[in-house]
Amino acid sequence: MVLRIMRILAGACFCLLLILLNAEAGELIVHNGGTVTIKSGSVLLMNCNKLTIEEGGNFIVQGGTLLQRGKLRVEAGGHYTVESGKVVQCHAFYLIPGVEGQGAVIYL
């Protein structure tokens, strides 16, 4: 009985984790005429959210750190420049639960 409850709780925790991850959805958009510059000593934490640079927008990394960047979309006429510094991208992964509590993780 205890083992069965633990399995149910583990499944409930996994579902809760997925709900929390989906609730964090967002995006940083640099619009036409806008500029975002990450200078030395600065860190922009993206939490794996998407970065979009529209036509006429500029995104520049100048010695700072862009941390946990999700998907990048640069429209024609937009500029994404890394002069110096560090960009750490997120890796997409999927967890496929197994029958007996074992699972597989697929990294993309």
Question: Does residue 2 lie within any of the structural domains?
Answer: no
Its domain, for residue 39, covers 27-107
The answer for residues whose C-beta is within 8 angstroms of residue 26's C-beta and 6 or more apart is 47, 49, 50
DSSP reduced 3-state for 23 = helix
Q: How many beta carbons lie within 10 A of that of residue 26, not counting itself?
A: 11
pLDDT over threshold 60, residue 65: yes
State how many domains the chain has.
Answer: 1
Question: Does residue 75 lie within any of the structural domains?
Answer: yes
Express each pLDDT in 27-52 by its tens digit.
899 999 999 999 999 999 998 889 99
Question: Does residue 14 lie within any of the structural domains?
Answer: no
What is the average pLDDT value for the chain, to the nearest integer?
A: 75
pLDDT over threshold 60, residue 20: no
Q: What percent of the chain has pLDDT over 70?
A: 61
Question: Does residue 6 lie within any of the structural domains?
Answer: no
The answer for residues whose C-beta is within 8 angstroms of residue 50's C-beta and 6 or more apart is 26, 27, 28, 70, 71, 72, 73
More confident: 30 or 14: 30
Question: Does residue 41 lie within any of the structural domains?
Answer: yes
**Which pLDDT belongs to residue 102?**
62
Q: What is the pTM of this model?
A: 0.62
Question: Does residue 60 lie within any of the structural domains?
Answer: yes
**Which pLDDT belongs to residue 24?**
43
